[in-house]
Structure formats: C-alpha cells, structure tokens
Amino acid sequence: MCMSVARTALLEPLQEFELPVDKRALVVGGGLAGMTSALSLANQGFEVYLVEKDKDLGGMARRLHYTLEGMDVQAYLRDLIRKVYQNPSIHVLTDATITEASGYVGNFITKVTSGERVNEIHHGVTIIATGAEEYKPTEYLYGQDERVMTNLELENQITNKEERLMNSQSLVMIQCVGCRQKDRNYCARICCSQSIKNALKLKELNPQVDIYILFRDMRTYGFKEDYYREASEKDVKFIRYEPDDKPQVEAVEEEGRRFLRVTVTDPVLGKKLAVDADGLALAAAVVPSAGTQEISRLFKVALNPDGFLQEAHVKLRPVDFAADGVFLCGTAHYPKHISETISQAYGAASRAATILTKDAVVASGAVCEVKENDCVSCGACISLCTYGAIEFVDTPQGRKARVNPVLCKGDGLCNSRCPTGAIFLKHYTDEEIYRQIDAEVPAF
C-alpha cells in the first residue's frame, strides 16, 4: 500500500505552465555594453527599447580616447551611436528614469519617465548594463591642487596635448587609489593597464619626461604584460609600496619653483625616496554607478558584496541573474576592459534571444502554494523570498499571502519560516516525503 502510494507521488507529473513571450526587449543603460547588446538584438529582428539616464549615449566611454592596443575609442563610439539611432527597431529614451518594474520572464512591464512623458514598456526580456563610475579621491591632495588628477583626466589632457603636461619634466602615478582597502576590498582590474597606456602615450609625445609608477601589484594580465615590459624598456620607473606604508604627497615651493613632492619607501633600497613631480595621476577605483541599488531593487536582482550586479553562476551562467529573463553585461557587473565589455554584451544578447525566439516559456510546476485558510498574514514568507514571488492580496477572508508561480523557484525556504505551515512546496509535501520514507524503510 505504502509502496504504491509512494510511486504515485513520485510519478505524478509536474503541472508545468506555458506562458506567451513578448518579443520586445528592454536594455537599461546606453553605454558601450547597452548599445552593443541592443544593436545585436535589433539586427536579429527584435524590437528594442534602450533606456539611458543621461542626455547622451556612450556612458564612461565618452571619457576614453584610446586603448592600450591602439583602438580609437571615440571613433568606435560615434559609429556605434550612429548605428543605434539609424536602426528602426531600436527606440532610444535618454534622460530617462525607471520608476516601476514588474512581471516575469516573457511578460515584463516597466514604466519609464523621459522628460514629461511616462512610457509603459511591455517586453519579454531585460538586459541591465548600467555601467560604473570613477571613484573621486579624497586623498593625495586631489581636489586641492590642480596638478593632481585621475587617470581619466590625465588621458584627456594627453589627447588635448595640454601645454603644461607637454612641458612637464616628471610625472608620478599612484596605483590602487580607493580600492583594495577595508571599505572597498577589491581590485579594479583596469587601472594598471590604464596607467601603462597613459605612460606609453605620454612617452611617445614627450620622450624626455620622467615617469614613476608607484604600485602594490602590477596586474597587466594576458598579452598586456608585453606593454608593461615595453614601458619598462622606455625607462618608466616602477616602485612598489606596501599598503601600510602608502606614498605621501605635499605641495612644495623651492627657489621659485612649485612642484609636488611624493615620498615613497623603496623596498629594494630599504630607504625613502623623494620624487619631485610636475604632476600626479591617481589610478582611481571603479565603483558601482549611483543607480545600481535602485535598479537592483526594481528588477529584484542581486548585488555582490562590492555593490556590483551578481551573476547567477560565475562559470555556468555568467550573464544571467537568478531571476529568469533578466541578464547583465558591462561594468555594472564588474570592472572590465572594452574588449571584455563588448564580448559580454554579445553574450547577454545571445542569452536574451534564446527566450525571444520562443513563442512560450515553460515554468516549473514545483512551486510553492498557500493554504489561505491557514495563513495568518504574518509576512514571514514574503521577507524570506529572494525572488519577490510572494505578496499579500485582499481576499474575502482578509489579507492573505499568495505565490506567483512564474516567479517562484521552488527552493522551499518560505516553508521553513511559516509558523502555521500554510505555505507548502507542491510535489514535495511532508505527506509525500513521509510515505516515500515508509516505502523505502520497512516497518519492524
């Protein structure tokens, strides 16, 4: 008897749901990653809404001019923006704010305010590419002395060939500013390559300038190591410093000359060195953009401990979120080079297309359900659900919890929190499990 019941429970088919798919896509963020993924989907025949919070497309790439390999970033960016605006399948909303997001895979609804107009966008998938920002240093006299700048500001001066920089006799660069420390304990990854890039470009324009790079660890990974060697061969001097003995910077005026004196301990000599520099460039950290937390809340996606968007699995699902139908790419995920950003943007577009090419998506029947008569409206299950699948609804018996079966992932965590046992996981009820145990373990 028990064996037959157990087998019935095991063989009972899951009541899966088939849901129609809206063939449109929403891309949040108009930087390189967002535009690349939007253009990829549009070229495959899908209608795309591209939402950007700034007045212009381009994101952080607007402040970049060249890469270590020699790519003309601004020319590439102008061509990409032209293609986006000329594509009839892409609807661009700039100076836009997302005020509300709801729905599930295949059927999302997002409200966007652009100017005085409110747009309600229906879409099947979402790609989040909100980018990142440059950390604004509070150390090393930044903001107090005009000769202290960030790497991005230095790159702009090099591109414009500013006279003061071109006439400089010496320049110091300090790595790991604002990161790899207690409150921001991660490596920004791109800073070392960026400093090497600017040093080589400045050496090309002014071979006589002395350049010192003060670093903790040089991380020019992959083939970028060749450029590190090239910089060393061109007499760019590298001095390592320890995190508990950071460089000291002071503005000095001697014999009518104004300069910045940078003091650092040389680990090889075991002595402090004083470098008198005409300029100081800080390799500032890459930090999550200001709107990342709000986007995380609206689309119910996770953030990692550093505040960047968290993928579902670093190897198996690198551009997916735990929430189905929502994907990520670009520096919103983590700091990365342009080539990596573009590759990931194509990856996100490809994953999104796997949903948009279907007429319907199938949701698992192994989901939670609420026995409303037993629900006491405590909200414990709602606070525990990371997918936002449970909400209160008004019923004739009062306010009760109810599960959206499409959003539910069937992890069963809410079951353990419910004080009355009102919420249960279908196909995995206590009665079914007990009968399976009884069937396997004979009674004595």
Whether residue 7 is predicted with pLDDT greater than 60 in this model: the reply is: no
- Do 142 and 274 share a domain, yes or no? yes
- Of the residues 264, 284, 304, the one at which a domain ends: 284
14 pLDDT higher than 60: no
Alpha carbons 310 and 70: distance in angstroms, whole number? 31
In DSSP notation, 316-360 reads TBTTB-SSTTEEE-GGGTS---HHHHHHHHHHHHHHHHHHHTSSE
pLDDT digits 0-9 by tens, 48-96: 999 999 999 999 999 999 999 999 999 999 999 999 999 999 999 999 9
294 in the same domain as 251 = no
Which SS3 state, helix, strand or coil, does residue 168 take?
A: coil
Q: What is the pLDDT of residue 443?
A: 63
Q: Which of 284, 311, 332 is the last residue of a domain?
A: 284
Residue/partner pairs of 179-182 with CB below 8 Å, 24 or more apart: 179/135, 179/285, 179/286, 180/216, 180/243, 181/243
pLDDT given for residue 113 in this prediction = 96
Q: Same domain for 163 and 279?
A: yes
What was the pLDDT predicted at 4? 46
Widest distance between CA atoms in the chain: 101
Distance, CA of 429 to CA of 98 (rounded, Å): 40
Helix (H) or strand (E) holding 401: strand 398-403
pLDDT at 15: 64
Answer yes or no: do 331 and 203 share one domain. Answer: no
User: How would residue 406 be classed by pLDDT, with cut points 50, 70 and 90?
Assistant: confident
Output the DSSP codes for 413-435. Answer: HHHHH-SS--EEETT--HHHHHH
Nearest C-alpha neighbor of 152 from the set 131, 168, 167, 137: 137
Range of the domain at 415: 2-15+363-440
**In this predicted model, what pLDDT tens digit does every residue of 145-178 receive, in sequence order?**
999 999 999 999 999 999 999 999 999 999 999 9
Same domain, 375 and 409: yes
* Same-domain pairing of 297 and 394: no
- pLDDT tens figures, 266-289: 988 889 999 999 999 999 999 999
Looking up tokens 């090419």 gives: 357
pLDDT for 129: 97
Q: Which residues contact 189 (CB under 8 A, 6 or more apart)?
A: 219, 286, 334, 335, 336, 337
How many domains, in total, are found in the chain? 3
Report whether 24 contacts 46 (CB < 8 A). yes
At 162 the three-state DSSP class reads: coil
Where is the domain boundary, 267, 284, 301?
Answer: 284
74 vs 296: CA distance, rounded Å? 30
Q: Are 141 and 112 in the same domain? A: no
CATH code of the domain containing 273: 3.50.50.60
pLDDT bin (cut points 50, 70, 90) of residue 435 is confident
**pLDDT band at residue 322, thresholds of 50, 70 and 90?**
confident
Verify that 230 and 155 share a domain, yes or no.
yes
Whether 110 contacts 299, CB under 8 Å: no
Residues 144 and 262 in one domain: yes
Residue 309 vs residue 116, higher pLDDT: 309
State whether residue 250 is helix, strand or coil. strand
Q: Averaged over 99-127, what is the pLDDT?
A: 94
93 and 118 in a single domain? The answer is: yes
Quote the distance between the C-alpha of residue 318 and its chain's center: 11
Distance CA 137, CA 424 (A): 51
What is the structure's pLDDT at 255?
A: 84
Bridge partners (DSSP) of residue 98 are 112
- SS3 of residue 254 by DSSP: strand
- C-alpha closest to that of 187 among 267, 265, 287, 291: 287
Residues paired with 125 in a beta bridge? 25
pTM of the shown model: 0.86
Residues 240 and 192 in one domain: yes
Q: What is the pLDDT of residue 301?
A: 92
207 and 274 part of one domain: yes
CATH code assigned at 418: 3.30.70.20
